[in-house]
Chains A and B, each alone.
Chain A
Amino acid sequence: MSALKYLSVVAGFALLASSAAIAQIPPEQRVVQGPVEEPGPFSFFITSVGIGNGGNLGGLEGADAHCQALAAAVGAGDKTWRAYLSTQANNGQEAVNARDRIGQGPWYNINGFRIAESLEALHYDNSALNYESALNEKGEHIGSLSMGDAHNQKDIMTGSAMDGTAMDPAVDTSCRNWTSNDQGTAQSGHHDRFRWYVWGSSWNSAHASQGCSQEGLNATGGDGLFYCFAAD
């Protein structure tokens, strides 16, 4: 056996071993919907595609317009859609908190599954928000290596602290208030709720990206996606 062939076999085993280690959502966190719970109106999704320019979303307005356009494309354009993104106090501008932008809830995914009842439930409980329920506007899963997908999109940009508020402006965590595609970082959450292959990550504030370029977002497992909520 040549060295190359031998290494191929080792690599093959490594891949097998890692696929055997594909994470499992705890059964109690899966989408379970009993007969007591009526499906609700579509009011939550993760963008199926990013804007394509890294952390430059054209500010909050650009991000909101992206949410609105994606929702409209699936027939839900009659609602007011808002991106779950914070901006930081900067150049005399006051900070904007993501949690103050999205209405009061309850919010449901495209299948009518309830993501959260209220702002309090979204931030203190959020047990219903995970890979299975946090779908895009078309009802598709968002890529997660931990869940066995080929493409990682799990870093969802928020620019927010765990309570949904803006972060300290001393460090840029909002890609220059969503106008930068190079300098800065984007604080991101994990829609699949995994830290690598271990369950238990924050949906909205897990870590910062490595930069604001599309490549910088990709480097830590992101694709420039963000959460959209119907505010009305």
Chain B
Amino acid sequence: MKQKIIMCLGISCLFSASFIQAQETEQPEMGFFVTSVNMGDGANLGGLAGADAHCQSLAEAVGSNRTWAAYLSTQAKNGQPAVNARDRIGSGPWYNVNGHLMASNLDDLHYNNASLNRLYSLSEKGEVIMSRSLGDPIGQHDILTGSNLDGTAISGDADATCNNWTSNDDGAAMLGHHDRLNFSTIGGSWNSAHLSRGCSPEDLDATAGNGLFYCFATD
């Protein structure tokens, strides 16, 4: 009996070793990152089209040939309907640059999202996005989303998207915390934590933001 147990351990060890190897050789393609750099003009991203192009060019620069979209909502305005960030990003699964599963699907992304944190929400180059609460020299933890917790656009007249991502001065943007901290306490939403003070680079910086946003592969 004892021998049988030990044999099983040996065999299961072999199985798990080959499983680990298979995982290493077939790393899933990157489908998620936080922009390594901002667009240089506060929350004026040139609208959704400009933001998507930024995602696409950053991804292509590291060799991705997938189709990318920014996780950003826009609000109903001037006769245009609202756009929900969650409806723009495909259906997953999405992996970070190191092959870590960020979310299996849209439900997992919005209701679980345990993997969205400073350790795994990396830039397309695999770099950490800075969090002052976690000891980094600068704070970049405010990520632009313009979205509710469920990934939908924010209703009402109050601006939460810096005039649909075209303003670099007046207005406000809804932000998430990539480090999941509310000051130094755990419990910050990744996509809908608070509004920015304004839309300029200085306003974003004032609450530890750098005009970065999430990018997802839609295909």
Contacts and interface: CB of A to CB of B under 8 A. Distances in A.
B119 A10 contact: no
Interface string B171-208: 00000000111111111111010000000000000000
Nearest to A34: B184
Interface string A209-223: 000000000000000
Given A7-B10, A28-B179, A124 B185 contact: no
A143 B103 CA distance: 25
B12 interface: yes
B6 A7 contact: yes
B138 interface: no
B114 A36 contact: no
B180 A116 contact: no
A95 interface: no
B132 to A, nearest CB: 12
B184 A36 contact: yes
A162 interface: yes
B183 A198 contact: no
A95 to B, nearest CB: 18
Interface residues of B, number: 42
B117 A36 contact: no
Interface in A198-214: 198-203, 205
A120 B149 CA distance: 8
Interface string B1-22: 0010011011011001000000
B6 A32 contact: no
Interface residues of A, number: 46
A210 B187 CA distance: 32
B37 interface: no
A205 B108 CA distance: 10
A121 B149 CA distance: 8
B183 A34 contact: yes
Contacts, number: 135
Contacts of A28: 117-119, 131, 134, 179-181, 186
B187 A162 contact: no
A15 B100 contact: no
Interface stretch (A51-59, A63-71, A79-87, A125-133): A125-133
A91 interface: no
A124 B110 contact: yes
A17 interface: yes
A32 B186 contact: yes
A120 B193 CA distance: 12
Interface string A19-59: 00000001111111111110000000000000000000000
B87 interface: no
Contact of A127 (B10, B180, B183): B180
A193 interface: yes
Nearest to A190: B114
Q: Which 4 A-B pairs have the closest CB atoms?
A: A34-B184, A14-B13, A162-B111, A200-B115
Interface of A: 4, 7-8, 10-11, 13-15, 17-18, 26-37, 114, 116-117, 120-121, 123-128, 130, 133, 162-163, 193, 195, 198-203, 205
23 contacts: A10-B9, A11-B6, A14-B10, A15-B9, A26-B118, A28-B179, A28-B186, A29-B186, A32-B133, A32-B185, A34-B185, A124-B189, A125-B149, A125-B188, A126-B111, A126-B114, A127-B117, A130-B114, A162-B112, A195-B101, A199-B119, A199-B120, A200-B115
